[in-house]
Amino acid sequence: MTTVQEKMLSDNLSRDSSGELCLGGVGLSRMAEKYGTPLYLYDEDRIRSRCREYKSAMLDSFGVRSRVLYASKAASFKRIYEIMAEEGMGIDVVSMGEIYTAKKAGFPLSEAYFHSNNKTDADIEYAIGEGVGYFVVDNSEELYAISDIATRLGKRQKILLRLTPGIDPHTYAQVNTGMVDSKFGSAIETGQAKEITALALSLDGIELMGFHCHIGSMVFDEGVYIDSARVMLDFVAEMSRELGYLASEIDLGGGFGVRYIEEHPTLDIGGVIARISEFMTEYADELGIPLPIVAMEPGRSIVADAGVTVYTVGTVKRIPGYKSYVSVDGGMTDNPRYALYGSPYTILPVASPVGEDFELCSVVGRCCESGDILQEGVRMPRGIRRGELIACLVTGAYNYSMASNYNRIPRPPVVMLSGGVDSLAVRREMPDDVSALDV
Protein backbone atom coordinates (compact mmCIF):
# COMPACT_ATOMS: atom_id res chain seq x y z
CA MET A 1 0.00 0.00 0.00
CA THR A 2 1.28 3.45 -0.91
CA THR A 3 0.35 6.29 1.41
CA VAL A 4 0.16 10.04 0.85
CA GLN A 5 3.10 11.93 2.35
CA GLU A 6 1.99 15.51 2.92
CA LYS A 7 4.08 18.60 3.26
CA MET A 8 2.12 21.77 3.72
CA LEU A 9 2.91 24.53 1.25
CA SER A 10 2.70 27.33 3.82
CA ASP A 11 2.59 27.70 7.57
CA ASN A 12 -1.05 28.83 7.65
CA LEU A 13 -2.09 25.34 6.49
CA SER A 14 -2.26 22.45 8.93
CA ARG A 15 -4.16 19.36 9.97
CA ASP A 16 -5.82 19.20 13.36
CA SER A 17 -5.73 16.26 15.79
CA SER A 18 -8.39 14.44 13.77
CA GLY A 19 -6.46 14.94 10.54
CA GLU A 20 -8.79 17.58 9.11
CA LEU A 21 -7.25 20.22 6.85
CA CYS A 22 -7.27 23.72 8.36
CA LEU A 23 -6.60 27.23 7.06
CA GLY A 24 -5.48 29.72 9.68
CA GLY A 25 -6.36 27.14 12.33
CA VAL A 26 -9.97 26.82 11.14
CA GLY A 27 -11.26 23.42 10.01
CA LEU A 28 -12.49 23.43 6.43
CA SER A 29 -15.39 21.01 6.93
CA ARG A 30 -17.07 23.32 9.45
CA MET A 31 -16.82 26.20 6.97
CA ALA A 32 -18.23 24.02 4.19
CA GLU A 33 -21.13 22.99 6.41
CA LYS A 34 -21.85 26.62 7.34
CA TYR A 35 -21.46 28.26 3.92
CA GLY A 36 -21.78 25.41 1.42
CA THR A 37 -19.45 24.61 -1.47
CA PRO A 38 -17.78 25.66 -3.67
CA LEU A 39 -16.35 28.08 -1.15
CA TYR A 40 -13.52 30.61 -1.29
CA LEU A 41 -11.79 30.97 2.09
CA TYR A 42 -9.26 33.73 2.80
CA ASP A 43 -6.88 33.93 5.73
CA GLU A 44 -7.10 37.65 6.50
CA ASP A 45 -4.26 37.45 9.01
CA ARG A 46 -1.95 36.11 6.28
CA ILE A 47 -2.92 38.97 3.94
CA ARG A 48 -2.11 41.52 6.64
CA SER A 49 1.18 39.79 7.41
CA ARG A 50 2.21 39.94 3.76
CA CYS A 51 1.33 43.65 3.56
CA ARG A 52 3.49 44.35 6.60
CA GLU A 53 6.32 42.23 5.24
CA TYR A 54 6.42 44.26 2.03
CA LYS A 55 6.06 47.61 3.77
CA SER A 56 8.84 46.80 6.23
CA ALA A 57 11.15 45.55 3.47
CA MET A 58 10.59 48.64 1.32
CA LEU A 59 11.03 50.98 4.29
CA ASP A 60 14.29 49.28 5.31
CA SER A 61 15.67 49.18 1.76
CA PHE A 62 14.29 52.29 0.02
CA GLY A 63 13.32 54.59 2.87
CA VAL A 64 10.19 56.38 3.99
CA ARG A 65 9.27 57.70 0.54
CA SER A 66 9.01 54.22 -0.97
CA ARG A 67 5.57 52.87 -1.84
CA VAL A 68 3.90 49.48 -1.78
CA LEU A 69 0.83 49.21 -3.99
CA TYR A 70 -1.44 46.17 -3.84
CA ALA A 71 -2.19 45.01 -7.39
CA SER A 72 -5.87 44.56 -6.77
CA LYS A 73 -6.70 42.69 -9.97
CA ALA A 74 -5.39 39.64 -8.07
CA ALA A 75 -8.45 39.77 -5.79
CA SER A 76 -10.86 42.69 -5.82
CA PHE A 77 -13.78 43.05 -3.42
CA LYS A 78 -14.70 45.56 -0.74
CA ARG A 79 -13.09 43.75 2.20
CA ILE A 80 -9.73 43.60 0.43
CA TYR A 81 -9.72 47.39 -0.04
CA GLU A 82 -10.72 47.91 3.60
CA ILE A 83 -7.75 45.79 4.66
CA MET A 84 -5.41 47.72 2.36
CA ALA A 85 -6.61 51.03 3.80
CA GLU A 86 -6.15 49.76 7.35
CA GLU A 87 -2.64 48.53 6.54
CA GLY A 88 -1.60 51.84 4.94
CA MET A 89 -1.10 50.32 1.49
CA GLY A 90 -1.52 51.97 -1.87
CA ILE A 91 -3.40 50.11 -4.59
CA ASP A 92 -3.30 49.75 -8.31
CA VAL A 93 -6.57 49.44 -10.18
CA VAL A 94 -7.31 48.54 -13.79
CA SER A 95 -10.95 49.43 -14.38
CA MET A 96 -13.83 51.69 -13.43
CA GLY A 97 -15.27 48.73 -11.52
CA GLU A 98 -12.21 48.34 -9.33
CA ILE A 99 -12.11 52.09 -8.69
CA TYR A 100 -15.80 52.05 -7.75
CA THR A 101 -15.33 49.07 -5.42
CA ALA A 102 -12.37 50.73 -3.70
CA LYS A 103 -14.41 53.91 -3.28
CA LYS A 104 -17.33 51.93 -1.78
CA ALA A 105 -14.87 50.41 0.69
CA GLY A 106 -13.72 53.88 1.77
CA PHE A 107 -10.23 53.52 0.29
CA PRO A 108 -8.54 56.93 -0.25
CA LEU A 109 -8.33 57.11 -4.04
CA SER A 110 -5.46 59.58 -3.89
CA GLU A 111 -3.39 56.46 -3.09
CA ALA A 112 -4.61 54.61 -6.19
CA TYR A 113 -2.69 54.08 -9.45
CA PHE A 114 -4.84 53.49 -12.54
CA HIS A 115 -3.46 50.96 -15.03
CA SER A 116 -4.77 49.44 -18.30
CA ASN A 117 -3.61 49.52 -21.89
CA ASN A 118 -6.97 50.82 -23.16
CA LYS A 119 -8.68 53.25 -20.81
CA THR A 120 -11.86 54.61 -22.38
CA ASP A 121 -12.73 58.30 -22.24
CA ALA A 122 -15.43 57.39 -19.71
CA ASP A 123 -12.86 55.55 -17.57
CA ILE A 124 -10.51 58.53 -17.66
CA GLU A 125 -13.15 61.11 -16.82
CA TYR A 126 -14.52 58.98 -13.98
CA ALA A 127 -11.07 58.36 -12.47
CA ILE A 128 -10.00 62.01 -12.66
CA GLY A 129 -13.33 63.11 -11.22
CA GLU A 130 -12.98 60.69 -8.31
CA GLY A 131 -9.49 61.94 -7.49
CA VAL A 132 -7.43 58.89 -8.48
CA GLY A 133 -3.86 59.83 -7.55
CA TYR A 134 -1.90 58.51 -10.51
CA PHE A 135 -2.51 57.24 -14.00
CA VAL A 136 -0.02 54.72 -15.37
CA VAL A 137 -0.16 55.74 -19.02
CA ASP A 138 0.28 53.07 -21.65
CA ASN A 139 0.33 54.95 -24.97
CA SER A 140 0.12 58.31 -26.70
CA GLU A 141 -3.62 58.09 -27.48
CA GLU A 142 -4.31 57.73 -23.77
CA LEU A 143 -1.93 60.58 -23.00
CA TYR A 144 -3.81 62.95 -25.33
CA ALA A 145 -7.15 61.87 -23.85
CA ILE A 146 -5.99 62.47 -20.26
CA SER A 147 -4.61 65.86 -21.24
CA ASP A 148 -7.88 66.91 -22.92
CA ILE A 149 -10.15 65.65 -20.13
CA ALA A 150 -8.00 66.90 -17.26
CA THR A 151 -7.71 70.35 -18.88
CA ARG A 152 -11.48 70.50 -19.42
CA LEU A 153 -12.04 69.56 -15.76
CA GLY A 154 -9.47 72.10 -14.56
CA LYS A 155 -7.20 69.37 -13.19
CA ARG A 156 -3.53 68.52 -13.48
CA GLN A 157 -3.20 64.73 -13.40
CA LYS A 158 -0.12 62.98 -12.06
CA ILE A 159 1.09 60.19 -14.31
CA LEU A 160 3.76 57.56 -14.74
CA LEU A 161 4.60 56.33 -18.24
CA ARG A 162 4.58 52.57 -18.64
CA LEU A 163 7.71 51.41 -20.45
CA THR A 164 8.76 47.99 -21.72
CA PRO A 165 12.38 47.36 -20.77
CA GLY A 166 12.88 44.39 -23.13
CA ILE A 167 13.46 41.88 -20.32
CA ASP A 168 12.40 38.22 -20.62
CA PRO A 169 11.29 36.92 -17.21
CA HIS A 170 11.15 33.30 -18.46
CA THR A 171 7.64 32.70 -17.18
CA TYR A 172 4.32 31.74 -18.79
CA ALA A 173 3.97 33.46 -22.18
CA GLN A 174 0.49 34.60 -21.15
CA VAL A 175 1.84 36.64 -18.21
CA ASN A 176 5.08 37.87 -19.80
CA THR A 177 4.71 41.66 -20.08
CA GLY A 178 8.25 43.05 -20.21
CA MET A 179 9.30 42.17 -23.77
CA VAL A 180 9.61 44.74 -26.55
CA ASP A 181 6.60 43.31 -28.41
CA SER A 182 4.29 43.30 -25.37
CA LYS A 183 0.80 44.75 -25.73
CA PHE A 184 1.64 46.97 -22.75
CA GLY A 185 3.67 50.16 -22.65
CA SER A 186 6.16 51.99 -24.85
CA ALA A 187 9.36 50.19 -25.78
CA ILE A 188 12.66 51.75 -24.76
CA GLU A 189 14.58 49.85 -27.45
CA THR A 190 12.56 51.28 -30.36
CA GLY A 191 12.80 54.91 -29.23
CA GLN A 192 9.07 55.10 -28.52
CA ALA A 193 9.66 55.57 -24.79
CA LYS A 194 11.67 58.71 -25.46
CA GLU A 195 8.99 60.00 -27.85
CA ILE A 196 6.17 59.56 -25.35
CA THR A 197 8.25 61.17 -22.61
CA ALA A 198 8.76 64.26 -24.75
CA LEU A 199 5.05 64.29 -25.58
CA ALA A 200 4.03 64.04 -21.91
CA LEU A 201 6.25 66.98 -21.04
CA SER A 202 4.60 69.10 -23.75
CA LEU A 203 0.94 68.56 -22.85
CA ASP A 204 -1.35 70.58 -20.61
CA GLY A 205 -3.13 68.91 -17.71
CA ILE A 206 -0.30 66.40 -17.23
CA GLU A 207 2.28 66.17 -14.44
CA LEU A 208 4.85 63.55 -15.38
CA MET A 209 6.21 62.01 -12.17
CA GLY A 210 8.31 59.20 -13.63
CA PHE A 211 8.24 55.75 -15.18
CA HIS A 212 6.70 52.34 -14.62
CA CYS A 213 7.53 48.86 -15.84
CA HIS A 214 6.25 45.36 -15.16
CA ILE A 215 8.13 42.36 -16.49
CA GLY A 216 5.60 39.59 -15.84
CA SER A 217 4.24 37.26 -13.18
CA MET A 218 5.41 34.16 -11.30
CA VAL A 219 9.01 35.40 -11.35
CA PHE A 220 11.40 33.63 -8.98
CA ASP A 221 14.68 35.02 -10.38
CA GLU A 222 15.64 38.25 -8.62
CA GLY A 223 18.20 38.93 -11.34
CA VAL A 224 15.33 39.75 -13.68
CA TYR A 225 14.31 42.65 -11.42
CA ILE A 226 17.90 43.89 -11.24
CA ASP A 227 18.20 43.77 -15.04
CA SER A 228 14.93 45.68 -15.33
CA ALA A 229 16.05 48.27 -12.76
CA ARG A 230 19.29 48.80 -14.72
CA VAL A 231 17.40 49.49 -17.95
CA MET A 232 15.01 51.86 -16.18
CA LEU A 233 17.78 53.82 -14.46
CA ASP A 234 19.68 54.06 -17.74
CA PHE A 235 16.54 55.56 -19.28
CA VAL A 236 16.11 58.02 -16.40
CA ALA A 237 19.70 59.19 -16.92
CA GLU A 238 19.17 59.43 -20.69
CA MET A 239 16.04 61.57 -20.31
CA SER A 240 17.91 63.82 -17.88
CA ARG A 241 20.69 64.36 -20.42
CA GLU A 242 18.61 64.62 -23.58
CA LEU A 243 15.34 66.22 -22.43
CA GLY A 244 16.38 67.90 -19.20
CA TYR A 245 13.75 65.85 -17.36
CA LEU A 246 14.71 64.03 -14.15
CA ALA A 247 12.13 61.45 -13.07
CA SER A 248 11.24 61.57 -9.40
CA GLU A 249 9.63 58.10 -9.27
CA ILE A 250 10.19 54.59 -10.63
CA ASP A 251 7.61 51.84 -10.22
CA LEU A 252 9.13 48.38 -10.78
CA GLY A 253 5.78 46.59 -10.87
CA GLY A 254 5.22 43.26 -9.14
CA GLY A 255 5.27 39.65 -10.25
CA PHE A 256 6.99 37.75 -7.43
CA GLY A 257 6.27 34.03 -7.71
CA VAL A 258 4.43 32.01 -5.06
CA ARG A 259 4.38 28.32 -4.10
CA TYR A 260 1.52 26.55 -5.82
CA ILE A 261 3.25 23.18 -5.58
CA GLU A 262 6.02 21.72 -3.45
CA GLU A 263 8.60 22.12 -6.24
CA HIS A 264 8.20 25.90 -6.25
CA PRO A 265 10.75 27.78 -4.12
CA THR A 266 9.92 30.12 -1.26
CA LEU A 267 11.05 33.68 -1.96
CA ASP A 268 12.74 35.73 0.74
CA ILE A 269 10.86 38.95 -0.05
CA GLY A 270 12.91 41.13 2.28
CA GLY A 271 16.18 39.73 0.97
CA VAL A 272 15.21 40.18 -2.69
CA ILE A 273 14.09 43.77 -2.13
CA ALA A 274 17.29 44.54 -0.19
CA ARG A 275 19.46 43.28 -3.05
CA ILE A 276 17.45 45.24 -5.63
CA SER A 277 17.89 48.36 -3.48
CA GLU A 278 21.63 47.79 -3.08
CA PHE A 279 22.03 47.55 -6.85
CA MET A 280 19.85 50.57 -7.61
CA THR A 281 21.55 52.78 -5.05
CA GLU A 282 25.02 51.96 -6.37
CA TYR A 283 24.01 52.17 -10.03
CA ALA A 284 22.22 55.50 -9.67
CA ASP A 285 25.39 56.85 -8.06
CA GLU A 286 27.44 55.54 -11.01
CA LEU A 287 25.08 57.29 -13.42
CA GLY A 288 25.30 60.52 -11.44
CA ILE A 289 21.57 60.77 -10.78
CA PRO A 290 19.62 60.77 -7.51
CA LEU A 291 17.77 57.53 -6.86
CA PRO A 292 14.08 58.18 -7.58
CA ILE A 293 11.31 57.20 -5.18
CA VAL A 294 10.78 53.48 -5.74
CA ALA A 295 7.42 51.70 -5.76
CA MET A 296 6.50 48.04 -6.17
CA GLU A 297 3.13 46.45 -6.92
CA PRO A 298 2.76 42.99 -5.36
CA GLY A 299 -0.59 41.32 -5.90
CA ARG A 300 -0.43 37.55 -6.20
CA SER A 301 2.26 37.27 -3.51
CA ILE A 302 0.05 39.12 -1.00
CA VAL A 303 -3.16 37.12 -1.40
CA ALA A 304 -2.37 33.81 -3.15
CA ASP A 305 -1.45 31.59 -0.21
CA ALA A 306 -4.12 33.26 1.92
CA GLY A 307 -6.73 31.46 -0.17
CA VAL A 308 -8.16 27.94 -0.32
CA THR A 309 -11.16 26.75 -2.34
CA VAL A 310 -13.28 23.94 -0.87
CA TYR A 311 -15.29 21.63 -3.11
CA THR A 312 -17.65 18.70 -2.70
CA VAL A 313 -16.95 15.59 -4.76
CA GLY A 314 -19.73 14.48 -7.10
CA THR A 315 -19.10 11.84 -9.74
CA VAL A 316 -16.08 9.55 -9.45
CA LYS A 317 -15.45 7.89 -12.81
CA ARG A 318 -12.83 5.20 -13.35
CA ILE A 319 -11.89 3.94 -16.81
CA PRO A 320 -9.86 0.72 -16.25
CA GLY A 321 -6.50 0.86 -17.96
CA TYR A 322 -6.88 4.56 -18.76
CA LYS A 323 -7.60 7.14 -16.07
CA SER A 324 -9.83 8.17 -13.20
CA TYR A 325 -11.87 11.35 -12.87
CA VAL A 326 -12.95 13.05 -9.66
CA SER A 327 -15.59 15.66 -10.49
CA VAL A 328 -16.36 18.53 -8.12
CA ASP A 329 -19.16 21.08 -7.78
CA GLY A 330 -16.98 23.89 -9.11
CA GLY A 331 -14.31 24.06 -11.80
CA MET A 332 -13.29 26.51 -14.49
CA THR A 333 -16.07 28.92 -13.45
CA ASP A 334 -14.34 29.58 -10.11
CA ASN A 335 -10.76 28.79 -11.21
CA PRO A 336 -10.01 29.09 -14.95
CA ARG A 337 -6.22 29.21 -14.60
CA TYR A 338 -5.48 25.61 -15.53
CA ALA A 339 -7.74 25.90 -18.57
CA LEU A 340 -6.04 29.17 -19.55
CA TYR A 341 -2.39 28.23 -19.16
CA GLY A 342 -1.97 24.92 -17.40
CA SER A 343 -1.11 26.44 -14.03
CA PRO A 344 -0.21 23.86 -11.38
CA TYR A 345 -2.11 23.48 -8.11
CA THR A 346 -1.95 21.28 -5.04
CA ILE A 347 -5.27 19.56 -4.27
CA LEU A 348 -5.81 17.63 -1.03
CA PRO A 349 -8.63 15.73 0.65
CA VAL A 350 -10.05 17.70 3.58
CA ALA A 351 -10.29 14.55 5.73
CA SER A 352 -7.09 12.87 6.84
CA PRO A 353 -5.39 10.82 4.10
CA VAL A 354 -3.06 9.08 6.57
CA GLY A 355 -2.98 5.35 5.95
CA GLU A 356 -5.02 5.66 2.76
CA ASP A 357 -4.01 3.96 -0.44
CA PHE A 358 -4.12 6.49 -3.27
CA GLU A 359 -4.55 6.73 -7.01
CA LEU A 360 -3.73 9.41 -9.57
CA CYS A 361 -6.86 11.24 -10.73
CA SER A 362 -7.88 14.09 -12.94
CA VAL A 363 -9.81 16.56 -10.79
CA VAL A 364 -12.37 18.13 -13.08
CA GLY A 365 -15.26 20.55 -12.86
CA ARG A 366 -18.97 20.45 -13.60
CA CYS A 367 -19.03 22.53 -16.79
CA CYS A 368 -20.10 21.09 -20.11
CA GLU A 369 -16.58 21.61 -21.45
CA SER A 370 -13.79 19.03 -21.90
CA GLY A 371 -11.24 21.66 -20.86
CA ASP A 372 -12.93 22.13 -17.49
CA ILE A 373 -10.01 20.69 -15.53
CA LEU A 374 -8.61 21.86 -12.20
CA GLN A 375 -5.57 19.59 -12.24
CA GLU A 376 -4.27 16.38 -13.77
CA GLY A 377 -2.37 13.66 -11.93
CA VAL A 378 -3.70 14.47 -8.45
CA ARG A 379 -3.14 11.98 -5.64
CA MET A 380 -6.52 11.15 -4.14
CA PRO A 381 -7.50 8.42 -1.66
CA ARG A 382 -8.55 5.37 -3.67
CA GLY A 383 -11.82 5.18 -1.78
CA ILE A 384 -12.85 8.79 -2.41
CA ARG A 385 -16.57 9.06 -3.07
CA ARG A 386 -19.49 11.39 -3.64
CA GLY A 387 -20.09 13.90 -0.85
CA GLU A 388 -16.50 14.08 0.43
CA LEU A 389 -14.63 17.40 0.56
CA ILE A 390 -11.43 18.30 -1.23
CA ALA A 391 -9.48 21.57 -1.18
CA CYS A 392 -7.50 23.36 -3.85
CA LEU A 393 -4.70 25.31 -2.16
CA VAL A 394 -3.24 28.73 -2.91
CA THR A 395 -6.31 30.07 -4.70
CA GLY A 396 -6.32 33.58 -3.24
CA ALA A 397 -5.08 35.22 -6.46
CA TYR A 398 -6.87 35.30 -9.82
CA ASN A 399 -9.58 32.84 -8.81
CA TYR A 400 -12.45 34.93 -7.47
CA SER A 401 -11.35 37.84 -9.68
CA MET A 402 -11.44 35.68 -12.85
CA ALA A 403 -14.56 33.71 -11.94
CA SER A 404 -17.42 33.61 -14.43
CA ASN A 405 -21.02 32.52 -14.86
CA TYR A 406 -20.21 30.17 -17.73
CA ASN A 407 -23.05 27.63 -18.07
CA ARG A 408 -24.98 30.13 -15.90
CA ILE A 409 -23.31 28.74 -12.79
CA PRO A 410 -23.50 31.13 -9.80
CA ARG A 411 -20.18 32.20 -8.29
CA PRO A 412 -19.12 31.01 -4.81
CA PRO A 413 -19.07 33.18 -1.68
CA VAL A 414 -15.92 34.66 -0.16
CA VAL A 415 -15.39 34.08 3.55
CA MET A 416 -12.62 35.76 5.56
CA LEU A 417 -10.92 34.08 8.52
CA SER A 418 -9.20 36.12 11.22
CA GLY A 419 -8.17 34.93 14.66
CA GLY A 420 -10.25 31.81 14.20
CA VAL A 421 -13.41 33.82 13.45
CA ASP A 422 -15.17 33.64 10.08
CA SER A 423 -17.04 36.48 8.37
CA LEU A 424 -18.80 36.72 5.03
CA ALA A 425 -17.16 39.15 2.60
CA VAL A 426 -19.05 38.28 -0.60
CA ARG A 427 -22.31 36.32 -0.47
CA ARG A 428 -22.99 33.33 -2.68
CA GLU A 429 -24.64 34.16 -5.98
CA MET A 430 -28.06 32.69 -6.60
CA PRO A 431 -29.84 31.93 -9.90
CA ASP A 432 -31.73 35.22 -9.54
CA ASP A 433 -28.38 37.06 -9.50
CA VAL A 434 -27.24 35.32 -12.67
CA SER A 435 -30.37 36.39 -14.55
CA ALA A 436 -30.75 39.80 -12.87
CA LEU A 437 -29.68 41.80 -15.94
CA ASP A 438 -31.92 39.95 -18.38
CA VAL A 439 -34.77 42.07 -19.77
Report, as residue numbers or ranges, the catalytic residues. 368
CA–CA dist 126, 54 (Å, integer): 30
Outline where DSSP puts E strands in 35-164.
Answer: 39-43, 67-71, 90-93, 112-114, 134-137, 157-164
Is-contact 422 34, C-beta < 8 A?
yes
DSSP 276-311: HHHHHHHHHHHHT-PPPEEEE---HHHHGGGEEEEE
One-letter amino acid for residue 426 of the chain: V
Coil vs helix vs strand at 201: helix
Residue 38: asked if its preceding bond is cis (omega within 30°), the reply is: yes
CA gap 235, 22 in Å, rounded: 48
Helix boundaries (H) for 203-329: 222-243, 269-287, 300-303
Compute the distance between CA of residue 333 and CA of residue 354 in angstroms, rounded to an integer.
Answer: 31
Read out DSSP for 380-426? Answer: EETT--TT-EEEEES-SSSSTTT---GGGPPPPPEEEEETTEEEEEE
Say if residues 332 and 365 touch (Cβ distance below 8 Å): yes
Q: Are 78 and 101 in contact (CB under 8 A)?
A: yes
Interatomic CA distance for residues 280 and 229, integer angstroms: 7
Amino acid found at 362: S
Ramachandran angles phi, psi of 265, nearest 5°: -75, 165
Residue 200 exposed, middle or buried by CB count within 10 Å (0-12, 13-18, 19+): buried
* Helix or strand holding residue 188 (H, E): none
